[in-house]
Amino acid sequence: MHIVVCMKQVPDSAQIRVHPVTNTIMRQGVPTIINPYDLFALEEALRLRDVIGGEVTVLTMGPPMAEESLRKALTFGADRAVLLTDRFFAGSDTLATSFALAAALTKIGEEFGVPPIVFTGKQTIDGDTAQVGPGIAKRLGFNQLTYVARIVDLAPEVGTITVERRAEGGVQVLSTRLPVLITMLEGVNEIRRGTLEDAFRASRAKIVTWNAADAGITDMTKCGLRGSPTIVKKIFSPPPRAEAAQLIATIDQSYDAIAASVMSEIFKSQPALEDDLMRFSAGP
């Protein structure tokens, strides 16, 4: 089975700063990484491939430097990498991004085999909208399974898939027909260390690089800024909380002393809890 994983190269948010005067994000000198949520999607795709056979292609839309992230994905064991890059894509919002990625996925299907499963991460750590996956699914006419925590069953011969989806207040078990787009939750698996062979292969691999025309896109008004109705009115850092943190224990204290300080603070705000505990510990 051919599986495609959409991955975005993002600035390492741990190192991002907001300009104190203009309130814009200062991207200069900030290292880029694979969107961490996308690694859970990649690992799930690799696991499926290991069980049922086939290939995993990773796809990213971004500037030429996004090739670095694709090569990294190859070191984890992906079989093929496709970079969609064109100046026409600059400034894409989620609508334009999902348009371009859907076109590239169609082209990937024509060139390398139609993927019955496309994975994305749950969301990115920069745009954070979680809209691109569902946008791709809608454009391609795929069923969509969002916030998936586990793939319970995959039956390619009958074209069905069953997953666990984490929802507010519980877990849903959902079955649907392929083709499907899955947005994978974080923390549900651990990305493997690729083999040495994967590392050598990745360093020499040819990254398939397509511009808009290569991906079969003819309507440029749907790409980049022109195809992006989102308008950024303002970016700002949230104001600091009015309530300052309170130091109630220090690390050089014994565990008993720390526990006593914490309990005493809790009881100050929840006096009834102390009475309840006393009654409970006194027994019937």
User: 141: left (phi > 0), else alpha (psi -120 to 50), else beta?
Assistant: left
3-state SS of the chain? CEEEEECCEEECHHHCEECCCCCCEECCCCCEEECHHHHHHHHHHHHHHHHHCCEEEEEEECCHHHHHHHHHHHHHCCCEEEEECCHHHCCCCHHHHHHHHHHHHHHHHHHHCCCCEEEEECCCCCCCCCCHHHHHHHHHCCEEEEEEEEEEEEECCCCEEEEEEEECCEEEEEEEECCEEEEECCCCCCCCCCCHHHHHHHHHCCCEEECCCCCCCCCHHHCHHHHCCCCCCCCCCCCCCCCCCCCCCCCCCCHHHHHHHHHHHHHHHCHHHHHHHHHHHHCC
> Is 128 among the residues that bind ligand FAD (CB under 6 A)?
yes
Residues 76 and 46: their CA atoms lie apart, in Å, by 9
> Is 97 among the residues that bind ligand FAD (CB under 6 A)?
yes
- Taking the complex as a whole, how short is the minimal distance between the CB of residue 96 and ligand FAD, in angstroms? 7
Among 56, 132, 148, 217, binds ligand FAD (CB under 6 A): 132
Among 67, 68, 126, 274, binds ligand FAD (CB under 6 A): 126
> Is 69 among the residues that bind ligand FAD (CB under 6 A)?
no
> Is 91 among the residues that bind ligand FAD (CB under 6 A)?
yes
Residue 134 token pair:
């569902």
Q: Which stretch binds ligand FAD (CB under 6 A): 44-52, 123-131, 189-197, 246-254?
A: 123-131
Q: Which is nearer to ligand FAD, 128 or 219 (CB)?
A: 128
> Is 217 among the residues that bind ligand FAD (CB under 6 A)?
no
Q: Which stretch binds ligand FAD (CB under 6 A): 2-10, 140-148, 156-164, 213-221?
A: 2-10
> Is 224 among the residues that bind ligand FAD (CB under 6 A)?
no
> Is 146 among the residues that bind ligand FAD (CB under 6 A)?
no
> Is 8 among the residues that bind ligand FAD (CB under 6 A)?
yes
Spell out, one character per residue from 157 to 196, where the chain touches ligand FAD: x when CB under 6 A holds, - when not.
----------------------------------------
Size of the site for ligand FAD (CB under 6 A): 30
- Taking the complex as a whole, how short is the minimal distance between the CB of residue 112 and ligand FAD, in angstroms? 17
- Taking the complex as a whole, how short is the minimal distance between the CB of residue 94 and ligand FAD, in angstroms? 4
Spell out, one character per residue from 16 to 35, where the chain touches ligand FAD: x when CB under 6 A holds, - when not.
-------------------x
116-152 per-residue burial string, b: 16 or more CB within 10 A, e: under 16 = bbbbbbbbbbbbeebbbbbbbbebbebebbbbbbbbe
> Is 61 among the residues that bind ligand FAD (CB under 6 A)?
yes
- Taking the complex as a whole, how short is the minimal distance between the CB of residue 270 and ligand FAD, in angstroms? 38
Residues of this chain that bind ligand FAD (CB under 6 A): 6-8, 35, 37-38, 59-62, 91-94, 97, 101, 120-121, 123-124, 126-133, 230, 232
